Structure 1
């Protein structure tokens, strides 16, 4: 990946287009699940969303393999797709802005109070 690709995010755009093309080859119920997964995962993205690329890859691969095996979406993901996505993000360690800001605030407060206690 070149510097220009990294700055502009063109590498991510290309990867997302490839993911979408692969998702179009899935059965309709899996396509709907993919839409739900992507919309739920983008909520937990960092500034660029680059940390989500391995998660998207893994989730799509899971859908591809299980659809080829003939399983239903409910068997694979359960009824709670949002919870499934939260568990994916938690395993990969992606954090939201809120989590990062909270950690920074806690560090700053602890540093300030450290001298007062």
Structure 2
């Protein structure tokens, strides 16, 4: 990755963080919890740009503009909201399971 791309990525991330900080406090809290959840559960695509996080932020900004509370937007089960977002995404857990299966399969063939 070139220095220029790294710097562009940092600029984009700082702008993203500034948008999060502009949200009402309840939205900020839920956004940060969603971010932590997604970083732990780990859809593989999450690290490719900030697409999913930006989509969530856009969705939250629309909710604020509509005068809705954050739990009206996500529902009361925020983890279920996250799971729904990544339902069709490959996660790091999926990659690890595939790796284990391949190692076991390889070992059993010996």
Same fold per superposition (TM over 0.5)? yes
What corresponds to 1:95 in structure 2? 91
> Residues 53 and 106 of structure 1: is their aligned pair in 2 closer, same or farther, counting only changes over 3 Å?
same
Structure 1 length as normaliser, TM-score? 0.73
Mapped contact 1:26–1:64 kept (Cα < 8 A): yes
2:101 aligned to 72, 86, 106, which one? 106
Q: Where do 5+ consecutive residues of structure 2 fail to align? A: none
Partner-residue secondary structure (3-state), 1:70:
coil
Decide which moves more: 58-67 or 10-19: 10-19
Give how far 1:82 is off: 1.8
Following TM superposition, by how much is the alpha carbon of 1:16 offset from its aligned partner in structure 2, in angstroms? 2.5
Structure 1 stretches of at least 4 aligned residues deviating more than 2 Å after TM superposition = 8-16, 44-49, 107-113
> What are the Cα deviations for residues 58-83 of structure 1, in whole angstroms up to 9, with x where unaligned?
10000001110111111110111122
Secondary structure, aligned partner of 2:41 = coil
- Trace 1:1-117 onto structure 2 (pairs within 5 A): 3-5=1-3, 10-45=7-42, 49-51=46-48, 53-91=50-88, 93-96=89-92, 98-110=93-105, 113=108
TM-score (norm 2): 0.77
Report if the CA contact (8 A) 1:12-1:50 is conserved.
Answer: no
- Matched residue pairs, number? 110
Give the alignment's Cα RMSD to 1 decimal: 2.9
